[in-house]
Structure 1
């Protein structure tokens, strides 16, 4: 990232080079694209905003109350808010959004989970909304802080599923143009004056416009940044980090995301990974530290447990670190015990004439941060260290979601960038994610 000014100034443009292109511009339909959601937050907002300590502050709702039985939520909405298509933001508009999210043909899976317990939505008056649940659902406010609201007019648009200018939001920026495979440009919303309570700035944005260029190749992003074609880039590879870390012309920043790290979830209900010894063998056959050092040159950290990262300080269990790891001798012993004792001409293990093949189903839309190279390294180590055939399959977002739901995979990679309460929702409150048990 190029050096920023100490004090913000009005006007100007900012161009980002990003790894991932949103699979849709309608936020409730984004599943598994946390970075894409951040892009669309320029245009779409929620009733409440989260704070780093996990509490909630006013945003499009100026206040909220919860009934004693925990099943009725009353939101008092801000006055004077409007969508960029001119539609008024009021209780009826919010009620329509929540009602539509209940429809299986419209909502994305994560958004549907947030509203699964909603039994009734009532616009009491233009600025008062009452939402009733059929049972207590503790993380409901997290949904209120995560569901992006769109204009009532958008629900009649042909662009509804794909998103675009006709799917209007209330945010500080308006979608100006979208060129698939190339870029999305936002322009300042001159009427904006309803930032969340914890925002550093109230009123219209300082910048006139923001453009995100979709540059999935790391070398292309770096070239664009160093040549001045873009102002900032994400997903700096380990090989390229040294170009910026000690360069006074740039600011290089890193952080550990909250949420679940990039994790390879094994299917516990489908052979061959339904056998616990096979699952343990996969874990023992992979030298994670070596892969991270080789692929990322020490610029990424190894995760433990697959549930939380060290950034989730209140819940992360540091004692799990180092309790398991690379042990090829154990991996081979476990596979022998599981009956995978034969070897074919390619060196892969076989049992009853069938090769030990595990399908890894990776969504193409979330291939970023050299994950494809990481998976290739996992594939190579599994073969070399234990004779396991890892078959890599890259699929579109829709196929990924359906195969995850139906349990049609051996290993499915996933990650979530969320706050601690979001992890709780993900693993404990949403309906069962898939038939593979991951």
Structure 2
């Protein structure tokens, strides 16, 4: 799509007429009023607006920290911060968490927040009939007690060192009991913005919560709209026309250069949690041989993969971890690109003439492009990889995630700090390493942040050496927005579009 040069001319003429009619004051007031509103573009429209009952990240990108809040929260640097719980104490054995709750907090419908509401939310998330997408993170909780209205006590079955982190996720949002069942369509939270309306297929409108409890926050926006535009060309068109003010996750890296020279728009490249990995079936020959997996890793030039798959935007990784994450280690040097060594290691593993296999690749652009680049690289060491496009999510979930019927696949894992997927049994990698599992158990046995980070480093190193998947790159957060918009997160330690600090400058 292109833009007509006449649009600028018409605007200039209208402005000139306003001056000649003596309406300059009115024009200025209108412009000033517009600076308290923002329209944010998103590629995917969520199917619902309750992050406590469904997994898609688009739900949290609209509602988390805008409408809904939690006992704790995750800030823009990925750090755990107090929210509806203003403080907490952890018993020496790590089995009792005592939270002091904020007082004077009200939901958008006027209902007061207290310990009974917090208990309802946690019991709802961990109950037998819970459909919470992160239900497993509540499994360590034995009882939820409410000694008084401002005190919540969680007693655990076993230590859960990451509990405070999980309580800050969208899926752990605190919900009001009477309105909880309707949050999917009319969400009610304690956040800085209230839900106004949802025009299906178009946008969600929010308005500032004048009664927001956190008086330390100075909200600059009166209204906000999330507009859903799936086509990348249409996204670019809407940005250039000013129909949307920001696209925090612009979907087409190949179009980023089209914004060069635009005096109004700015491009911001940040990090996300989207780890692109080519998972291998570790129980299927020849991928059951660690030497084969290591050889394939050495056959991969990550820089070339990033260039071919995502126009050069992305950060190479050497394990299932991102630079956003606590205790991150750059392990791309464990098995760096070396085709000659890769071929020699293949021969040592009994495949001097290579072998043939199939990758089940979802239809998404990054997966298809990455598969094609890998295909060419593997050919250099005598390995033939056939590409089978597999519809995502339905067929991929059925064939790969649930049935583990595949040789190799490729997908971007979006959950923050999800290195534990390699310890889950079953999980589609079919990777089993008791030493790795022990490290993750130790993470949960300690609530000391420094100790956890050291252990996470050990876990990353084990995966980098064992190569249960080919660790490729982290997809970037390609943000494009009006240069006068400030306060949007540049990085994405958790999928979100937090509007609390967003404001316009002149």
* TM-score greater than 0.5 by the shorter chain: yes
CA spacing shift, 1:164–1:326, aligned 2, 3 Å: farther
Find out whether 1:102 has 2:97 as its counterpart: no
Query: Which residue in the other structure is 2:191 paired with?
Result: 171
Deviation for aligned residue 1:91: 0.9
5+ unaligned residues in a row in structure 2: which ranges? 1-31, 432-506
Q: Following the alignment from structure 2 to structure 1, what is the Cα–Cα distance between the partners of residues 375 and 244? A: 36
Q: Following the alignment from structure 1 to structure 2, what is the Cα–Cα distance between the partners of residues 322 and 135? A: 35
The counterpart of 1:213, out of the listed 227, 237, 241, is 227
Q: Following the alignment from structure 1 to structure 2, what is the Cα–Cα distance between the partners of residues 50 and 436? A: 29
Query: Which residue in the other structure is 2:74 paired with?
Result: 50
Q: Following the alignment from structure 2 to structure 1, what is the Cα–Cα distance between the partners of residues 228 and 69? A: 23
Q: Following the alignment from structure 2 to structure 1, what is the Cα–Cα distance between the partners of residues 106 and 284? A: 50
- When the two structures are aligned, how many residues end up with a matched partner? 393
Find out whether 1:252 has 2:277 as its counterpart: no
Q: Following the alignment from structure 1 to structure 2, what is the Cα–Cα distance between the partners of residues 59 and 114? A: 19
- Once the two structures are superposed, residues 14-49 of structure 1 have per-residue CA deviations (whole angstroms, 9 ceiling, x without a partner) of 11222233354221344363x652322111101123
Find out whether 1:148 has 2:163 as its counterpart: no
The counterpart of 1:308, out of the listed 293, 296, 321, is 321
Query: Which residue in the other structure is 1:358 paired with?
Result: 359
Paired residues for 1:324-339 under 5 Å = 324-325=336-337, 327=339, 330=342, 334=346
Deviation for aligned residue 1:434: 1.6
Check whether the contact 1:280–1:331 (CA below 8 A) recurs between aligned residues: no
The counterpart of 1:268, out of the listed 282, 288, 306, is 282
- Once the two structures are superposed, residues 304-350 of structure 1 have per-residue CA deviations (whole angstroms, 9 ceiling, x without a partner) of 213223445x63333543732262894698389666969xxxxxx65
Q: Following the alignment from structure 2 to structure 1, what is the Cα–Cα distance between the partners of residues 34 and 148? A: 38
Deviation for aligned residue 1:264: 2.4
Query: Which residue in the other structure is 1:389 paired with?
Result: 386
Q: Following the alignment from structure 1 to structure 2, what is the Cα–Cα distance between the partners of residues 117 and 299? A: 39
SS at match of 2:39: strand
Check whether the contact 1:65–1:73 (CA below 8 A) recurs between aligned residues: yes
- Once the two structures are superposed, residues 261-320 of structure 1 have per-residue CA deviations (whole angstroms, 9 ceiling, x without a partner) of 32222221345643445534543554432232234333333x1213223445x6333354
CA RMSD of the aligned region, Å?
3.6
The counterpart of 1:229, out of the listed 228, 243, 247, is 243
Deviation for aligned residue 1:226: 0.5
Check whether the contact 1:175–1:186 (CA below 8 A) recurs between aligned residues: yes
Q: Following the alignment from structure 2 to structure 1, what is the Cα–Cα distance between the partners of residues 302 and 291? A: 19
Check whether the contact 1:239–1:296 (CA below 8 A) recurs between aligned residues: yes
Structure 1 or 2, whichever has the larger Rg, is 2
TM-score (norm. length: structure 2): 0.67
The counterpart of 1:318, out of the listed 330, 334, 346, is 330
Q: Following the alignment from structure 2 to structure 1, what is the Cα–Cα distance between the partners of residues 156 and 125? A: 14
Paired residues for 1:46-195 under 5 Å = 46-51=70-75, 56-109=80-133, 111-146=134-169, 147-155=172-180, 157=181, 159=182, 163-165=184-186, 167-194=187-214
TM-score (norm. length: structure 1): 0.76
Query: Which residue in the other structure is 2:412 paired with?
Result: 414
Deviation for aligned residue 1:231: 0.7
Deviation for aligned residue 1:50: 3.5
SS at match of 1:45: coil
CA spacing shift, 1:248–1:213, aligned 2, 3 Å: same
Q: Following the alignment from structure 1 to structure 2, what is the Cα–Cα distance between the partners of residues 36 and 98? A: 19
Find out whether 1:374 has 2:372 as its counterpart: no
SS at match of 1:178: strand
Check whether the contact 1:11–1:208 (CA below 8 A) recurs between aligned residues: no
CA spacing shift, 1:431–1:181, aligned 2, 3 Å: farther
Paired residues for 1:22-61 under 5 Å = 22-31=46-55, 33=57, 36-41=59-64, 42-51=66-75, 56-61=80-85
CA spacing shift, 1:32–1:378, aligned 2, 3 Å: farther
Query: Which residue in the other structure is 1:239 paired with?
Result: 254
Please state which structure has a larger fraction of its residues in helix.
2
Deviation for aligned residue 1:413: 1.7
Deviation for aligned residue 1:82: 2.0
5+ unaligned residues in a row in structure 1: which ranges? 1-7, 196-200, 343-348, 351-355
Paired residues for 1:283-294 under 5 Å = 283-294=297-308
Q: Following the alignment from structure 1 to structure 2, what is the Cα–Cα distance between the partners of residues 435 and 406? A: 8
Deviation for aligned residue 1:127: 1.8
